[in-house]
Homo-oligomer: A and B are copies of this chain.
Amino acid sequence: MAEALTSEAILAATEEVLRRYGPAKATVVDVAKALGVSHGSVYRHFATKAALREAVTRRWLDAVHEQMTPRFDQGLTVGETLKTWLQQLFDKKRHGHTEDPELFATFQVLVKESKAIPEYHIRHMVGLVARIISAGVETQEFVTDDVAATAKAVWDATEKFHHPAHAQEWGDPHIQDAFDAVVSLVIAGLRYNRTPSAAGDA
Protein backbone atom coordinates (compact mmCIF):
# COMPACT_ATOMS: atom_id res chain seq x y z
CA MET A 1 0.00 0.00 0.00
CA ALA A 2 0.99 3.69 0.16
CA GLU A 3 4.40 4.93 -0.99
CA ALA A 4 7.69 3.01 -1.10
CA LEU A 5 9.57 2.90 2.18
CA THR A 6 12.42 5.45 2.09
CA SER A 7 15.35 5.99 4.45
CA GLU A 8 14.08 9.50 5.01
CA ALA A 9 10.67 8.23 6.14
CA ILE A 10 12.39 5.81 8.53
CA LEU A 11 14.52 8.61 9.96
CA ALA A 12 11.48 10.80 10.53
CA ALA A 13 9.60 7.96 12.20
CA THR A 14 12.62 7.13 14.35
CA GLU A 15 12.85 10.71 15.53
CA GLU A 16 9.16 10.69 16.42
CA VAL A 17 9.48 7.39 18.30
CA LEU A 18 12.54 8.67 20.15
CA ARG A 19 10.65 11.81 21.08
CA ARG A 20 7.71 9.80 22.38
CA TYR A 21 9.41 6.90 24.20
CA GLY A 22 12.87 8.29 24.93
CA PRO A 23 16.20 6.70 23.99
CA ALA A 24 15.97 3.85 26.52
CA LYS A 25 12.57 2.52 25.40
CA ALA A 26 12.54 3.27 21.68
CA THR A 27 12.88 0.02 19.72
CA VAL A 28 13.20 -0.87 16.06
CA VAL A 29 9.87 -2.66 16.39
CA ASP A 30 8.27 0.62 17.51
CA VAL A 31 9.66 2.40 14.47
CA ALA A 32 8.36 -0.31 12.15
CA LYS A 33 4.97 -0.19 13.87
CA ALA A 34 4.82 3.59 13.40
CA LEU A 35 5.49 3.08 9.69
CA GLY A 36 3.08 0.16 9.35
CA VAL A 37 5.77 -2.26 8.14
CA SER A 38 7.63 -5.20 9.64
CA HIS A 39 10.85 -4.46 11.48
CA GLY A 40 12.72 -6.59 8.92
CA SER A 41 12.07 -3.84 6.37
CA VAL A 42 13.84 -1.28 8.48
CA TYR A 43 16.94 -3.47 8.41
CA ARG A 44 16.90 -3.25 4.61
CA HIS A 45 17.81 0.46 4.95
CA PHE A 46 19.93 0.48 8.10
CA ALA A 47 22.27 -2.39 8.96
CA THR A 48 21.86 -2.10 12.72
CA LYS A 49 19.85 -0.25 15.31
CA ALA A 50 23.02 1.68 16.19
CA ALA A 51 23.43 2.83 12.56
CA LEU A 52 19.83 4.03 12.50
CA ARG A 53 20.20 6.00 15.71
CA GLU A 54 23.49 7.44 14.52
CA ALA A 55 21.88 8.62 11.27
CA VAL A 56 19.09 10.39 13.17
CA THR A 57 21.60 12.01 15.48
CA ARG A 58 23.81 13.20 12.64
CA ARG A 59 20.75 14.72 10.98
CA TRP A 60 19.90 16.62 14.14
CA LEU A 61 23.50 17.73 14.69
CA ASP A 62 23.75 19.06 11.15
CA ALA A 63 20.83 21.38 11.87
CA VAL A 64 22.57 22.55 15.05
CA HIS A 65 25.81 23.15 13.14
CA GLU A 66 23.90 25.16 10.58
CA GLN A 67 22.52 27.46 13.30
CA MET A 68 25.96 27.93 14.82
CA THR A 69 27.73 29.29 11.75
CA PRO A 70 29.38 32.49 13.05
CA ARG A 71 28.12 35.87 11.87
CA PHE A 72 30.66 38.66 11.56
CA ASP A 73 28.96 41.91 12.49
CA GLN A 74 30.88 44.94 11.19
CA GLY A 75 30.43 46.96 14.37
CA LEU A 76 31.93 44.26 16.59
CA THR A 77 35.54 43.43 17.41
CA VAL A 78 36.48 39.82 16.73
CA GLY A 79 36.80 39.33 20.48
CA GLU A 80 33.18 40.43 20.88
CA THR A 81 32.16 38.17 18.02
CA LEU A 82 33.83 35.19 19.71
CA LYS A 83 32.23 36.03 23.04
CA THR A 84 28.81 36.34 21.40
CA TRP A 85 29.28 33.05 19.57
CA LEU A 86 30.27 31.22 22.75
CA GLN A 87 27.34 32.81 24.59
CA GLN A 88 24.98 31.65 21.86
CA LEU A 89 26.35 28.13 22.14
CA PHE A 90 26.01 28.19 25.91
CA ASP A 91 22.45 29.56 25.77
CA LYS A 92 21.43 26.93 23.24
CA LYS A 93 22.68 24.12 25.46
CA ARG A 94 21.24 25.60 28.64
CA HIS A 95 17.96 26.54 27.05
CA GLY A 96 17.51 23.12 25.49
CA HIS A 97 18.31 21.67 28.84
CA THR A 98 15.84 23.64 30.90
CA GLU A 99 13.03 24.08 28.36
CA ASP A 100 12.66 20.72 26.67
CA PRO A 101 14.72 18.56 29.01
CA GLU A 102 13.45 15.28 27.59
CA LEU A 103 14.40 15.88 23.97
CA PHE A 104 17.70 17.40 25.02
CA ALA A 105 18.47 14.40 27.22
CA THR A 106 17.50 12.08 24.38
CA PHE A 107 20.02 13.55 21.99
CA GLN A 108 22.58 13.80 24.75
CA VAL A 109 22.32 10.04 25.16
CA LEU A 110 22.36 9.43 21.41
CA VAL A 111 25.49 11.52 20.89
CA LYS A 112 27.33 9.58 23.58
CA GLU A 113 26.42 6.20 22.07
CA SER A 114 28.94 6.35 19.25
CA LYS A 115 32.53 7.49 19.34
CA ALA A 116 32.34 8.91 15.82
CA ILE A 117 29.50 11.35 16.52
CA PRO A 118 31.18 13.40 19.25
CA GLU A 119 34.35 13.51 17.16
CA TYR A 120 32.34 14.72 14.18
CA HIS A 121 30.59 17.34 16.28
CA ILE A 122 33.74 18.59 18.00
CA ARG A 123 35.71 18.72 14.75
CA HIS A 124 32.98 20.88 13.25
CA MET A 125 32.61 23.18 16.24
CA VAL A 126 36.36 23.68 16.64
CA GLY A 127 36.43 24.49 12.92
CA LEU A 128 33.89 27.26 13.52
CA VAL A 129 35.99 28.65 16.38
CA ALA A 130 39.01 28.52 14.07
CA ARG A 131 37.14 30.66 11.53
CA ILE A 132 36.59 33.35 14.14
CA ILE A 133 40.18 33.21 15.36
CA SER A 134 41.40 33.43 11.78
CA ALA A 135 39.43 36.61 11.35
CA GLY A 136 41.02 37.93 14.54
CA VAL A 137 44.50 37.11 13.29
CA GLU A 138 43.76 38.94 10.05
CA THR A 139 42.72 42.10 11.86
CA GLN A 140 45.77 41.62 14.13
CA GLU A 141 43.45 41.59 17.12
CA PHE A 142 44.61 38.08 17.99
CA VAL A 143 48.12 36.59 17.91
CA THR A 144 48.78 32.89 17.39
CA ASP A 145 51.13 30.81 15.28
CA ASP A 146 48.69 27.88 15.02
CA VAL A 147 45.04 28.76 14.51
CA ALA A 148 43.79 25.15 14.68
CA ALA A 149 45.60 24.37 17.95
CA THR A 150 44.44 27.65 19.48
CA ALA A 151 40.85 27.02 18.41
CA LYS A 152 41.03 23.63 20.12
CA ALA A 153 42.43 25.32 23.24
CA VAL A 154 39.54 27.80 23.29
CA TRP A 155 37.10 24.92 22.92
CA ASP A 156 38.78 22.96 25.71
CA ALA A 157 39.00 25.97 28.04
CA THR A 158 35.26 26.61 27.69
CA GLU A 159 34.31 22.94 28.06
CA LYS A 160 32.48 23.64 31.32
CA PHE A 161 29.94 25.64 29.33
CA HIS A 162 29.23 23.24 26.49
CA HIS A 163 30.18 19.70 27.54
CA PRO A 164 27.05 17.73 28.51
CA ALA A 165 28.88 16.25 31.51
CA HIS A 166 28.60 19.67 33.13
CA ALA A 167 24.91 20.18 32.34
CA GLN A 168 23.86 20.00 35.97
CA GLU A 169 26.15 22.93 36.82
CA TRP A 170 24.32 25.13 34.32
CA GLY A 171 21.53 25.67 36.82
CA ASP A 172 23.89 27.38 39.26
CA PRO A 173 22.88 31.02 39.79
CA HIS A 174 26.50 32.18 39.35
CA ILE A 175 27.15 30.22 36.16
CA GLN A 176 26.91 33.32 33.95
CA ASP A 177 29.57 35.05 36.05
CA ALA A 178 31.81 32.01 35.66
CA PHE A 179 31.21 32.05 31.91
CA ASP A 180 32.06 35.75 31.65
CA ALA A 181 35.24 35.30 33.68
CA VAL A 182 36.51 32.36 31.62
CA VAL A 183 35.68 33.94 28.27
CA SER A 184 37.28 37.20 29.35
CA LEU A 185 40.42 35.33 30.39
CA VAL A 186 40.53 33.35 27.16
CA ILE A 187 40.06 36.39 24.94
CA ALA A 188 42.76 38.25 26.87
CA GLY A 189 44.99 35.26 26.18
CA LEU A 190 44.19 35.34 22.47
CA ARG A 191 45.47 38.91 22.28
CA TYR A 192 48.92 37.58 23.04
CA ASN A 193 49.51 33.86 23.02
CA ARG A 194 52.06 31.56 21.51
CA THR A 195 51.21 27.87 21.44
CA PRO A 196 54.17 26.13 23.11
CA SER A 197 54.87 23.40 20.54
CA ALA A 198 51.95 22.23 18.46
CA ALA A 199 51.49 18.92 16.65
CA GLY A 200 54.04 19.79 13.97
CA ASP A 201 57.79 20.12 14.63
CA ALA A 202 60.36 22.79 13.71
Contact = CB atoms under 8 A, between A and B. Distances in A.
Interface of A: 149-150, 152-154, 156-160, 163, 165-166, 174, 177-178, 180-182, 184-199
Given A157-B158, A188-B189, A189-B186, A181 B196 contact: yes
B159 A186 contact: no
> Which 10 residue pairs of A and B lie closest in terms of their CB atoms, listed nearest first?
A189-B189, A165-B165, A153-B181, A188-B189, A188-B193, A185-B189, A157-B157, A180-B196, A153-B185, A159-B160
Contacts of A199: 174, 177
Given A159-B166, A180-B197, A185-B154, A191 B190 contact: no
A195 B174 contact: no
A150 to B, nearest CB: 7
A191 B192 contact: yes
Contacts of A184: 153, 189, 193-196
